[in-house]
Structures are given as C-alpha cells and as structure tokens.
C-alpha cells in the first residue's frame, strides 16, 4: 500500500534584526613596556672623552719625538799657498798647485794737449805783412832787411830779398812781403798803416815804391815768455801713459770671458811709441804729446782658484774635522807675472772654521730614554761639543724616546 506523501512547508526565517549579535572571543592583552631613554648630552660627553683619550694616546705613542740641536766647537784654519795661473794647462792641478788661465791683449793710442809751465826772459819783435807797390815801368828789387817806416815812425825790416813786379798800364805792380820790427817790444804792435822806404829818400823813385798793411802788426813783447820744459815733457809722458793704460785695462776687462777675473796686478804694459814734436825750450803755452801702448794680461776663473784653495785648506784641517763652507774666506796677491811665457804667480791666503764631525747615531743611542737635562749633560761632555738643546714633543713627554727613529739630531754651525 502506497505510503502517503509527506508535504514539507518551508517557512522563511524571521528577521531578528539587531537581536542577533556576533560573538567574538575575548583576547587578553599584555601591558606595553616603556622605552629606555638615554640623555643625548651625556652620550656626547662620553664620546668626546673617549675621542680625546684615544687622541692623546695616539699622540703619545705614535707622534712622540725628540729634537736635539748640537752646536760644535769651532776653530779657524788658515793657510797661505803659492798658486800659479798657467795658460798652458786646461784643468786644475792640485799637486803643483796650478789653475788654468787665458792671455788677453789690446793696443791703444792717444794724443793729448798739455800746458807749458816754464818761463824765460825774452824780447820778442812784432811781425806782420806789408803789401809793397811799384809804380815804375820796371821791376824793383829790394834787398833783405830793407827798411819800411810807418806813418808813426816805427821801422820794420824785410826778412828776405824781394822783386816787385813793374806797373802794367795804370795798375801798379805789388807783392805781399813779410816784415819784422826793428826793435822788440809791444810798441811795435801797431795798427794798419802806410809805409815808405827811407833808403830811397832823395831819389826820383821814393814816391813810386811804397807799402801798405791791411792788418795790425803783432807779437811784440818784452818780459817773461812761457816755454816748454823737459819736466813738462816728462810729466806729459807719464800722465798720458797712465791715462791710456787705464783705458786699455777697461777695454781688456770688457773682453773677459764669462766667469773669469783680472787681478789689478795681472797687467803688462808695453810702450810702443812715446813722443812729442816739441822740444824743451820751445816758446809755447801748450804742446801735444802722443803714446801708443800694447797692454796684455792673464785672466783666470775665480771658481777654479776657490776650488783649489778649498781643497788645500781641507787637507790642512785636522783629521776627523770638517770645514764650515759658510765661513770660507780667500784673498790673493799677484807676486810675479810673465805674459810672454804665460804664467802668473800669486800668494793665496784662505781660511774657514773647522769643527769635529758629530756621530749622530752614537749620540742618539747615548741619550735614549734619558731626561732632557741628563741628555744635555751627557752630550755637552762629548769632545768637540760646545752646547746642546733638547726639545720633546708632545710637551708632556718627560724622557727621550727609546726608539732611535723618534729622535732627530741637527748639527748647527754658525
């Protein structure tokens, strides 16, 4: 028998609204821990302190240093040595001793005017020129010492026989004639004048032969006259040779090769010519003198002389001592010269301060680990030491470092 069917009635759920609440599990929370706060200022101070301590330790162990200055005792060493400058060598010869040199030469000449200083009593006649006219149709001969009288009566004489041309047409013949006063003295220094020939007086040709001067007569005097003396000539020679020698030396110095020097006594003067046309006693106020000179010299390098002198001086120093080059001094004097043979002989004096060579490594070992006071006392007791000074760095350091590389020694030579 069939089962009866079941009918299911589906009824939608009711809306309970807010009556239904979500049920969530309740979780228990732990309380939060508060952060630990360190003050920034305190942290900075700690950092700075650590930095300073580290810096001090670094400076103390890494940068510690001792500086020791040593002043050695000094003693002057001086020698005088004969040194030859030779033109035939090219290099310094310590054994001889010699240095190379070169020969220079120059020729100079000059003429100069000098004053005469002598005087002598004199009576000088005036002189001049007269133009003599001839109005005759034939030539006129006048013998030597023919007299011509001026308008004022001063007589002048011809100095030689003369022939005056004849008149041509209406033009008189004429000739310029040299005349000299009949007497000495300034009175005969007359102005231009007309002249007659007294020897023709009384003859028909007296008025036909006459003279005229266009310029004054001159030179007449009585008294002391300036003359050239032998002393004047000798002094002129000496003076001019000195002047030309000086010029020649300047000329030679201008020719010196670079690095060379000419000593004042290294010149040789050869007088090729020395003369004057004027003789002693000439009545002149001035006269000329002439000279021609050949000047030679031997030059050398100062550096060569200094190098050789330093070597010789070093050889003369005591063993174990050194020379202070800053105190080196040298002078030289020429003793002899032969330019033709090419040598110059000099006395050379050189000097310098010497001092004991300082054993810096030995000094460093000696004072390692000692106080500055002890180190100075130890070093001052060493031979050849004048004084010492110790400086430590950094300033709080009380002893010289034991490590030798941290100590430095400076040798100071004044």
pTM of the model: 0.59
H or E stretch at 100 = strand 98-115
Out of 224, 253, 274, a domain closes at 224
User: 111 and 260 share a domain?
Assistant: yes
Q: Quote the pLDDT of residue 26.
A: 56
- Secondary structure E strands in 135-197: 140-142, 147-150, 155-158, 162-164, 173-184, 194-196
pLDDT of 22 over the 60 cut: no
The total domain count for the chain is: 3
Cβ atoms of 274 and 291 closer than 8 Å: yes
User: 218 and 231 share a domain?
Assistant: no
Cα-flanking dihedrals φ and ψ of residue 284, to 5°? -140, 150
- Least confident window among 17-21, 71-75, 95-99, 109-113: 17-21
User: 207 and 130 share a domain?
Assistant: yes
For 385, other C-beta atoms within 10 Å of its C-beta total: 20
- Retrieve residue 236's tokens: 């002129």
Q: What is the dihedral of CA 43, 44, 45, 47, to 10 degrees?
A: 90
Q: Which residue has the tokens 């100095």?
A: 159
Q: Is residue 76 part of a domain?
A: no
Q: Is residue 231 part of a domain?
A: yes
Q: Is residue 285 part of a domain?
A: yes
d(C-alpha 361, C-alpha 150), whole Å: 115
Cβ atoms of 179 and 155 closer than 8 Å: no
User: 370 and 245 share a domain?
Assistant: no
- Least confident window among 28-32, 70-74, 112-116: 28-32
Q: Quote the pLDDT of residue 36.
A: 57
- Retrieve residue 141's tokens: 């001969």
**For residues 60-82, average pLDDT:** 89
User: 135 and 277 share a domain?
Assistant: no
pLDDT of 150 over the 90 cut: yes
pLDDT of 414 over the 90 cut: no
User: 109 and 240 share a domain?
Assistant: yes
Residue 20 pLDDT grade (very low, low, confident, very high; cuts 50, 70, 90): very low
Residue 249: cis peptide before it, omega within 30 degrees of 0: no
User: 290 and 362 share a domain?
Assistant: no
Question: Which CATH number does the domain housing residue 265 bear?
Answer: 3.30.110
User: 111 and 251 share a domain?
Assistant: yes
360: left (phi over 0), alpha (psi -120 to 50) or beta: alpha
User: 214 and 128 share a domain?
Assistant: yes
User: 129 and 208 share a domain?
Assistant: yes
Residue 1 pLDDT grade (very low, low, confident, very high; cuts 50, 70, 90): very low
Q: Is residue 65 part of a domain?
A: no
Task: Render pLDDT for 246-270 as a digit per residue (tens, 0 to 9).
Answer: 999 999 999 999 999 999 999 999 9
Q: Is residue 21 part of a domain?
A: no
Axis-axis angle for helices 360-367, 372-380 (nearest 10): 140
For 114, other C-beta atoms within 10 Å of its C-beta total: 19
Q: Quote the pLDDT of residue 40.
A: 73
pLDDT of 342 over the 70 cut: yes
Burial of 295 (0-12, 13-18, 19+ CB in 10 A): buried
Cβ atoms of 70 and 410 closer than 8 Å: yes
Q: Is residue 178 part of a domain?
A: yes
Cα-flanking dihedrals φ and ψ of residue 389, to 5°? -145, 130
**For residues 352-378, average pLDDT:** 94
User: 278 and 217 share a domain?
Assistant: no
- Residues facing 178 on adjacent strands: 129
H or E stretch at 351 = strand 343-356
pLDDT of 17 over the 60 cut: no
d(C-alpha 156, C-alpha 148), whole Å: 5
Task: Render pLDDT for 117-137 as a digit per residue (tens, 0 to 9).
Answer: 999 888 889 999 999 999 999
Q: Is residue 152 part of a domain?
A: yes
Angle at 71 between CA 310 and CA 384, to 5 degrees: 75
Out of 202, 224, 246, a domain closes at 224
Q: Quote the pLDDT of residue 198.
A: 96
Q: 3 or 355, which is more confident?
A: 355
Out of 200, 224, 248, a domain closes at 224
Burial of 104 (0-12, 13-18, 19+ CB in 10 A): buried
Non-local (6+) Cβ contacts of 127 within 8 A are 178, 179, 180, 181, 217, 218, 219, 220
- Secondary structure E strands in 135-258: 140-142, 147-150, 155-158, 162-164, 173-184, 194-196, 209-212, 221-227
The parent domain of residue 291 ranges over 103-117+227-299
Q: Is residue 310 part of a domain?
A: no
User: 233 and 366 share a domain?
Assistant: no
- Least confident window among 1-15, 62-76, 150-164: 1-15
Q: Quote the pLDDT of residue 16.
A: 47
């Amino acid at each position: 028998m069939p089962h009866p069917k079941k009918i299911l009635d589906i009824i939608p759920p009711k809306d309970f609204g807010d009556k239904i609440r979500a049920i969530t599990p309740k979780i228990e929370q732990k309380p939060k821990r508060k952060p630990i706060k360190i003050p920034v200022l305190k942290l900075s101070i700690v950092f700075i302190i650590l930095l300073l301590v580290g810096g001090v330790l670094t400076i103390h162990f890494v940068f510690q240093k001792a500086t020791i200055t040593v002043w050695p005792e000094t003693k002057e060493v001086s020698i005088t040595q004969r040194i030859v400058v030779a033109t035939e060598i090219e290099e310094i010869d310590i054994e001889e001793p010699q240095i190379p040199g070169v020969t220079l030469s120059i020729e100079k000449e000059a003429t100069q005017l000098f004053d005469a200083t002598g005087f002598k009593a004199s009576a000088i006649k005036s002189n001049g020129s007269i133009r003599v006219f001839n109005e005759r149709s034939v030539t006129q001969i006048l013998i030597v010492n023919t007299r011509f009288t001026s308008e004022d009566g001063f007589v002048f004489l011809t100095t030689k026989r003369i022939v005056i041309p004849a008149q041509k047409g209406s033009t008189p013949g004429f000739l310029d004639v040299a005349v000299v006063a009949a007497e000495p003295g300034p009175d005969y220094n007359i102005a231009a004048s007309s002249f007659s020939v007294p020897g023709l007086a009384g003859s028909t040709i007296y008025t036909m032969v006459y003279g005229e001067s266009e310029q004054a007569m001159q030179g007449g005097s009585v008294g002391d006259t300036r003359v050239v003396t032998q002393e004047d000539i000798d002094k002129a020679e000496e003076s001019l040779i000195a002047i030309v020698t000086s010029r020649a030396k300047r000329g030679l110095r201008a020719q010196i090769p670079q690095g060379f020097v000419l000593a004042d006594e290294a010149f040789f003067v050869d007088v090729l010519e020395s003369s004057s046309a004027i003789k002693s006693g000439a009545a002149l106020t001035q006269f000329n003198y002439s000279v021609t000179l050949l000047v030679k010299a031997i030059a050398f390098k100062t550096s060569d002389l200094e190098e050789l002198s330093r070597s010789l001086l070093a050889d003369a120093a005591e063993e174990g001592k050194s020379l202070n080059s800053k105190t080196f001094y040298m002078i030289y004097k020429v003793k002899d010269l032969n330019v033709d043979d090419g040598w110059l002989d000099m006395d050379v004096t050189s000097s310098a301060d010497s001092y004991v060579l300082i054993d810096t490594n030995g000094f460093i070992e000696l004072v390692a680990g000692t106080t500055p006071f002890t180190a100075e006392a130890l070093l001052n007791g060493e031979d050849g030491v004048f004084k010492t000074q110790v400086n430590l760095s950094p300033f709080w350091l009380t002893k010289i470092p034991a490590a030798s590389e941290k100590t430095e020694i400076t040798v100071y030579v004044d």
